[in-house]
Structures are given as C-alpha cells and as structure tokens.
Structure 1
Amino acid sequence: MPSSKDVKPDLQELVRLSGVRMIDSGLTVATWGNISCCDRETGLMYITPSGMNYHEIVYDDINVYDLKGNLVQGHRRPSIEHDMHRGMYNARPEISACVHTHPIFSTVFSSMGENIPINLHDEAAQALGDTVRCADYCLPGTIDLASAVVRAMGEKANACLLRNHGAVCIGEDMDGAFKVSTVLEMVAEIYWRIRATGSTYIPISDENVAAMQMFVKTKYGQY
C-alpha cells in the first residue's frame, strides 16, 4: 500500500505549475478545470484543489490519493472531479496525466452534443487517437460523470467532450496531455469555422489516418 513517504514533492509542483499553464493558455477561466498526474511507480495520483486561484496555489495544496480513492496526503478539498481522474488512470494504464479544460470552441460542440472527427486534420489524426466523443450529460463531480467519461474515451481516444461542460484530455505525460488539449481546441475551431461557412470538410482516408498514427509512434521526433 502506498503511504505518505511515497509522495514526491516534485510531482506536486508539476501539477501546480500545470494549473498555471492551463489558466495562462486560455484553456479555462477563473478557477474552473482541473489537472492531475499519476505516478505509475507508486500508484499515487496528484490533483489540484477545488476552487482555488491557480496563481495562488502552492505545491502542498496538491492532494495525493491512491487509485482506490484513499487520501494519502493533503489538507485541501480536492477537485470535485477527482473520481473522474482516478477512473481514467484505472481504465487507461498507459497514461500518466489528465487535463480537464473549459475551452471555447470544444465546448461549442459539447453543448451541441456532437463528436469531433479526427479525419478532419492531420494533427487531429496524429494526436487525438480516435473520434472525440461527447459523453452523456451528468452533473459535475459525480460518479456518473466519471463513468460517462471513461465510456466516451474508450480504449484509443486521447480526448472526450463533456456535454454542456468542457473537455478531458489525457497523455503519457503532462506535456502529452497539454498537446492533446491544444490540438483538440485548434481542430474544434477549424471545424466550427468550416461549419460557419455552410461547407463540409473533405475527410482524410482511414488508411492515411492509420499511417499518420504509425508515423508519430515510430518515426517522428528524435531518438
């Protein structure tokens, strides 16, 4: 069983700084949204507190839980979406970061209950994993919402929409989760602008989507 001696202050600081990164990037406003990371070595989840100014949070405001939901260390009330984050880590063992944002264009589609296709744009095909599905509406902070997000994300997608609410993005690390968040919002804006013209997009073929995903896994970037 993990204990407080397994808590890593550098991961608390990573989550704190990521909250600042999220608010400064415009991916959310005020105190909304939440961020977590999971240390797969110890099985501990680090998550932002509820309703605090991201620029005023200090590292030990970041609560730490095990993946069964037991508090290991912390003195703040955690984000109300802690069950959602924990659910994602239990469902997707390959991920170590989860970012819940309230971005404008993604939320336009979430409020219409619409999915965002990945065959619309090269970067969507490469980063988003699968169709970005819109989860059924559930009240914020509930187990029902956590379950709906896990279902919408499935086994391959790196993002989903929360109906009338926002978006959830995941990654192998924090930079990966932020990349997904940024690409999702960019693609949502492109999709919105196409729709605003009264036009439709020309889809990328399934074969080319698969080829780009393999390219990103095996050939893109440095060794």
Structure 2
Amino acid sequence: MTDGVDQLVEAYHALGNAGHGDLVWGHIALRDGSTGGFWMKAAGWGFEEVTRDRLVLLSSEGSVLAGKGPRHVEWPIHAEILRARPEVSAVVHTHAGAAVVFASLATPLRAISHDGVPFATPDVPRFTDTADLIRSSDLGAGLAATLADANGVLIPGHGLVTASATLAEAAMYAVLLDRACANQLRALQAGGPLLWSDASEVAAKQAMWTPASLASGFDYLVRRAHESRR
C-alpha cells in the first residue's frame, strides 16, 4: 500500500473516537498519487474497526483496484471532490450529530468560538440538491461545486463533508465544523447568540488555524484513540 495509508487508518480511529462514527456509515478518502485513485474503508466496517486490510483502493471511476470488500455506494463524493480540487488529498464525510441538526435550521453559522472561524466568512455552504445518498457522479460533482474552495460543506438531512491538502487538516475540519454547530445550537437554546466574531476578527483569527496547529490537534485525537483501544 502507498505511503500515508497507516495515517488513514489513524484518521478513522481518531474521528470514531471523536464522535463522528455512525455505525458502519460515513467514510474518509485519501488520494493515491501513483494511480490517481483513492483509498477508503470497505463498506460494512465502523470507523473504530478499520485496519489496513479493511481498506480498498478505488479508481476515479469507482473500480476496485486493490483490497477486499465492497466499496461504499457514496464513493462519488470523494471521486468528484478530488477531481475538482487537485490540491486536495483527503476528503471526510460523516453524519456528525450536531452538524446534521444545525444544517436543518438554514441559519448562518457564526464564529461564536474559535471552532467556527474556518467556516463563518463566508458562511459554510449547504448542498441542497438532495439529502439522499450521493450515489452518482452527477450528484458528486454537484456537491464538489457547492463546496468549491471552502473547507467544508453541510448537507441538510444528511451530514457534512470536509476537504483539505492533508488528512490531518480534513479530519480536524470535520471535528471543528461539528463543534461549531454544537456551540451554536447551545447558544440558540439559551436565546442567542447575541455576540460573535465579525468578518474582520474572523480574518485575524484565521492565523490560529495553521497546518501545524491542525496537525497538532489531529495528533491529539490520534493519541486519544490509541488510549481508548488499550
């Protein structure tokens, strides 16, 4: 297998431990530089169950090139985002609870905490063509177009998708987006939010979310996942 596949396994464990698992659904993909395809887990496994032997390599057209087990039906999410954004190497799709609930409100996401900074200006996009499974290349391409160059996108009635240049960044964006949604849901329950970072402060705060800081957060999630498996 290619370099970085061990980190893909770690990313599954880290996001599973961080509350992004949904039984055997949701998936993370890593671009394979040698084939132009991507690695992801085979269908039927939970995030915490993923091992190297439970990964499959898919072509950009969805053919299984290596590994055992069936592919996820939503492989077009990853194929089309990776096709549309050559700078992206990792794509995350989960059904994180707070993100699903917040997406249903059609409310702008505010930077009421540092978590919201990567998504608040402009507002996190919403893909509304369907809340059903994204089984076709056309739907995958539509999702990629809605995501555009953003860090993440919400799919009302379904979940979230994040994408970035590294697994660490894509995984952390998934965690931060769900946390930002959870924070705003709590504020809404309390009658707010009344205060949040404006566009200029959001721009200034972007400096805190460097590749190094995102990698540090990801490493922490990996350590937590390792500890939980002992």
TM-score by length of 1: 0.81
SS of aligned partner of 2:28: strand
Is the deviation greater in 99-108 or in 72-81?
Answer: 72-81
Higher relative contact order, structure no. (Cα contacts within 8 Å, ≥ 6 residues apart): 2
Is 1:69 matched with 2:62? yes
Q: Which residue of 1 aligns with 2:217?
A: none
- Kindly provide the CA deviation profile for residues 170-218 of structure 1, in whole angstroms up to 9, marking residues without a partner as x: 2221111121111111111111111112223334232332333356559
Asked whether the equivalents of residues 42 and 56 of structure 2 are also in contact (C-alpha less than 8 Å), the reply is yes
Give the aligned partner of residue 97 of structure 1.
90
The residue identity in structure 2 corresponding to 1:141 is: I
Contact 1:45 1:64 (C-alpha < 8 Å) held by counterparts: yes
Name the SS of the counterpart of 1:134 in structure 2: coil
Cα distance in 1, alignment partners of residues 213 and 47 from structure 2 = 34
Paired residues of 1:130 and 1:158 also in contact (CA < 8 A): no
Corresponding residue to 1:117 among 91, 109, 112: 109
CA distance in 1, matches of 2:27, 2:107: 22
Gaps of 5+ in 2: 215-230
TM-score, normalization by structure 2:
0.79
> What CA distance in whole angstroms lies between the structure 1 residues aligned with 2:31 and 2:94?
18
Q: Are positions 1:213 and 2:181 aligned together?
A: no
d(CA) in 2 for partners of 1:206, 1:85: 30
Q: 1:75: how far off? A: 2.5
Secondary structure of the equivalent of 1:30? coil
AA in 2 matched with 1:111: S
* Corresponding residue pairs, total: 213
Provide the C-alpha distance between the structure 2 equivalents of 1:139 and 1:121, rounded to a whole number of angstroms. 31
Deviation of 1:83 after TM superposition, in Å, equals: 0.6
- Aligned CA RMSD, in angstroms, stands at 2.8
Q: Percent identity?
A: 21
1:118 touches 1:130 (CA, 8 Å); kept in 2? no
Deviations 1:52-75 (A, max 9, x none): 234444313211123343432133
Query: Pick from 67, 72, 82: which aligns with 2:75?
Result: 82
2:151 alignment counterpart = 158
5+ residue gaps, structure 1, are 1-6
2:23 pairs, out of 27, 30, 48, with 30
User: Is contact 1:116–1:188 with CA below 8 Å preserved after alignment?
Assistant: no
* Aligned equivalents of 1:116, 1:51: Cα separation in 2: 35
